[in-house]
């Protein structure tokens, strides 16, 4: 079964909108785990627009679970990741003006910085490093050459597609990318824009899917049914949408 990890960034976004101390993303993370999440995802951005350094340290200190630390290749942020020692570091592109992460990392253009970052992370004890990539076979091959242990497929184009026929075309690329990653010995993750409506087709179509990272859809749904209920609901959908080939 594909594992569900929950991204709690949007809980911090809500807190920061009023410059309050609540809602607490660490408490939200506990609720997600109670609801059946297999781990917690967070993105410590350079501008600290949602998750901050204190959140990160409390997540590490308070939770006994898989932590996926999303980060740019900024040396400052990489240093914090090395200090925290998460289970997984996922390298993502980052631009100050974007609302959310837009597109995958270009592992070919930035190969030297990425290689340096992966070497530093692994050298300081963070042994699992993923690259957040578009479903491009050349990018997948480069991730393997650079020493990544996993890739996270950027599913935003699939999630934003308005017609089923367009989604099917994008899924063909997703399937090919997952197969290539598997052939290269890379673990396959996926995330960005997945929700209760679009997950079933995705989950039943993409092979070798070890885990998915979902954040906004969970936090939005939690307004109506609570965060535990939202996690349980999506876990049930994942369980009923196994890969069918």
Dist. CA 72–CA 91, nearest whole Å: 6
Residues counted in the chain: 245
Please, which residues bridge with residue 132 across strands? Answer: 152
Please return the burial class of 18, using the count of CB atoms within 10 Å of its CB with bins 0-12, 13-18 and 19+: exposed
Contact 35, 27 (CB under 8 A): no
Which tokens belong to 193?
A: 């824009």
Name, in order, each residue with C-beta under 8 angstroms of 89's C-beta and a sequence gap of 6 or more: 68, 69, 71, 81, 121, 126, 128, 129, 130
Instruction: Write out the H or E segment, with its range, that includes residue 151.
Output: strand 150-154
Nearest to 105 by CA among 73, 77, 81: 73
Among candidate residues 110, 104, 88, the one with its CA nearest the CA of residue 42: 88
> If pLDDT is split at 50, 70 and 90, which confidence band does 164 have?
confident
Q: What is the DSSP string of 66-129?
A: EEEEEE-S-HHHHHHHHHH--SEEEE----TT-SS--S---TTTTHHHHHHHHHHHHHTT---E
DSSP-assigned letters across all residues of 132-147: EE-S-HHHHHHHHHHT
Q: What is the average pLDDT across 156-181? A: 91
Portion of the chain with pLDDT greater than 90, in percent: 91
Query: Average pLDDT of 79-108?
Result: 84
Give pLDDT tens digits for 118-137. 999 999 999 999 999 999 99
**pLDDT at site 216:** 96
Calculate the alpha carbon distances from 88 to 126, 160, 230 in Å: 7, 27, 24
**Whole-prediction pTM:** 0.95
Predicted local confidence at residue 155, as pLDDT: 97
Name the residues annotated as catalytic: 43, 70, 192
User: pLDDT band for position 97 (50/70/90)?
Assistant: low
Domains within the chain, CATH numbers bracketed = 3-239 (3.20.20.70)
| Structure token pair of residue 139 | 């990018």
CB atoms within 10 A of CB 15: 19
Mean pLDDT of the chain: 95
pLDDT, mean of residues 59-85? 97
Token code pair at residue 104: 């995958």
| 163 has pLDDT over 90 | no
Nearest to 175 by CA among 243, 80, 97, 111: 243
């Amino acid at each position: 079964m594909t594992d569900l990890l929950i991204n709690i960034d949007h809980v911090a976004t809500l807190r920061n909108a009023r410059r309050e101390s609540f809602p607490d993303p660490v408490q939200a993370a506990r609720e997600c785990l109670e609801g059946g999440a297999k781990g917690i995802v967070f993105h410590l951005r350079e501008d600290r627009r949602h998750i901050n350094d204190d959140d990160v340290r409390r997540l590490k200190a308070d939770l006994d679970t898989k932590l996926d630390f999303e980060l740019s290749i900024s040396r400052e942020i990489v240093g914090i990741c090395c200090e925290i020692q998460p289970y997984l570091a996922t390298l993502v592109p980052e631009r100050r003006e974007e609302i959310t992460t837009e597109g995958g990392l270009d592992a070919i253009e930035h190969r030297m910085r990425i290689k340096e970052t992966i070497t530093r992370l692994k050298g300081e004890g963070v042994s699992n490093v993923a690259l957040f990539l578009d479903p491009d076979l050349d990018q997948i091959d480069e991730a393997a050459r650079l020493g990544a242990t996993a890739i996270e497929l950027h599913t935003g184009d699939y999630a934003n597609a308005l017609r089923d026929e367009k989604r099917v075309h994008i899924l063909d690329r997703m399937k090919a990318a997952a197969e290539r990653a598997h052939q290269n010995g890379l673990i396959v993750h996926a995330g960005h824009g997945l929700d209760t409506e679009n997950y079933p087709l995705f989950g039943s179509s993409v092979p070798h899917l070890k885990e998915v990272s979902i954040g906004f859809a969970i936090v939005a749904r939690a307004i109506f049914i609570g965060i535990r209920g939202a996690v349980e609901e999506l876990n049930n959908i994942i369980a009923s949408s196994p890969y069918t080939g």
